[in-house]
Amino acid sequence: MPLAAITASHTPLMHTVAPRGDTRAAVDAAFAQARAFAADFRPDLVVVVAPDHYNGMFYDLMPPFCVGTAAEAVGDYGTGAGPLAVDRDAARHVVRELLAAEIDLAMSERMVVDHGFAQPLELLFGAIEAVPTVPVFINSVALPFGPLRRTRLLGEALGHALLALDRRVLLLGSGGLSHDPPLPALEGAPPEVAARLVAGRNPTPEERAARENRVRDAGLAVVAGDPGPRLNPDWDQAFLDLLAQGRLAATDTWTNDWITAEAGNSAHEVRTWLACYAALSSAGPYAVRSRFYRPIPEWIAGFGITTAETRRIP
């Protein structure tokens, strides 16, 4: 069976901060195109590859990769809360195959996910439980990170595992592109913040509201005239070109420090896109069917959406 992929930026500000001009209409149109692509592909399994933002994964045990055989969304930033429709058999198959392929990853029987997983499922399928899923977590926020090459190899192994299922599988990558929102870091954090990042405790409703207000205020400040965190449209477009041209191995030489310097602390979320395209490449040559990009300072994001599928043989 062929594979297909949709990759999309996510932002906690989508529902609370209105960007200037026709930006929102352009983003909505791009998501409508992606929804049509998904409907035409008719997947019977959606593999969601996404990061976490200290809502489900903490420094008490921070895996570089993790597959959930069950998952529940916390409902942050206005996204849906509750269980995802995880296909346990497919998830366990993925775990077995990736481990057999010498990819070191964790497995979770009670994965907790946030807007990184929930938002694309809602935007493309209407609800977090609308389609059978396999959630794949890639750490893209909590330092230290492994080499980017490991993410590419994970994606290739994931693709081979999915092909063995002989099902119509849509890979859904969530995150990126260049952006640097106000997220806590363990190094140099006040003791109470460091304790929460380590302890594996989900924030209280009051703490969650305070965190969400900080992010919203950063977006509103841009609307009011503050230039906001730096975006890098040139870097974003170069990355999109690399994916479209199938030059995935070129990222093997990228260092984590370079990514941060060029595109921001949270630009490491492009690992989710790289993994999806690497998985897609396992089925053979692919073609990008649509590509959308805009730098959106009000959302503190270089915002992109792509669709791609295995190249059809005439």
Q: Is 151 helix (H, G, I), strand (E, B) or coil?
A: helix
* Close Cβ partners of 148 (under 8 Å, ≥ 6 residues apart): 251, 252, 254, 256, 259, 271, 274
Catalytic residue among 10, 53, 179, 268: 179
Per-residue pLDDT tens digits for 272-284: 999 999 999 999 9
**Which pairs with CB-CB distance under 8 Å and at least 24 residues apart come from 95-101?**
95/67, 95/69, 97/157, 97/160, 97/161, 97/164, 98/67, 98/154, 98/157, 98/158, 98/161, 101/157, 101/160, 101/161
**pLDDT at residue 314 in the model:** 44
Supply the pLDDT for residue 203: 66
For residues 10 and 120, the answer to whether their CB atoms sit within 8 Å is yes
pLDDT digits (tens, 9 = 90+) for 301-314: 999 999 999 976 44
Q: Whose CA is closest to 90, among 142, 148, 131, 138? A: 131
pLDDT for 207 equals 72
| pLDDT over 90 (residue 48) | yes
The pTM (predicted TM-score) of the whole model is 0.93
| Calpha distance 61→163 (Å, rounded) | 31
Q: What is the mean pLDDT of residues 195-219?
A: 70
Q: Measure the CA–CA gap between 261 and 82, rounded to whole angstroms.
A: 36
Q: How high is the pLDDT of residue 185?
A: 78
pLDDT in tens, 105-147: 999 999 999 999 999 999 999 999 999 999 999 999 999 999 9
Of the two residues 238 and 199, the one the predictor is more confident about is 238
Mean pLDDT of 47-53: 97
Q: 15, 115, 160, 268: which is the annotated catalytic residue?
A: 115
Q: Using one digit for the tens of pLDDT, what is the confidence trace for 57-115?
A: 999 999 999 999 999 999 998 899 999 999 999 999 999 999 999 999 999 999 999 99
pLDDT for 32: 98
Pairing outcome for strands 3-8 and 169-174:
parallel
Using the predicted structure, report yes or no on whether residue 226 has a pLDDT greater than 80: no
pLDDT for the residue 228: 62
Spatial CB neighbours of 21, under 8 Å, sequence gap ≥ 6: none
- What pLDDT, on the 0 to 100 scale, is given for residue 240? 98
Which residue did the predictor score with more confidence, 225 or 285?
285
More confident residue, 221 or 32: 32
Over residues 240-274, the pLDDT tens digits come to 999 999 999 999 999 999 999 999 999 999 999 99
The pair of structure tokens assigned to 148 is 């980017």
Nearest to 235 by CA among 304, 146, 287: 304
Q: Using the 8-state DSSP alphabet, how is residue 224 labeled?
A: T
Look up 93 and say whether it is catalytic: no
- What average pLDDT does the chain have? 92
Q: Read off the pLDDT band of 2 (50, 70, 90).
A: confident
Q: At what angle do helices 88-100 and 148-163 cross, to 10 degrees?
A: 120
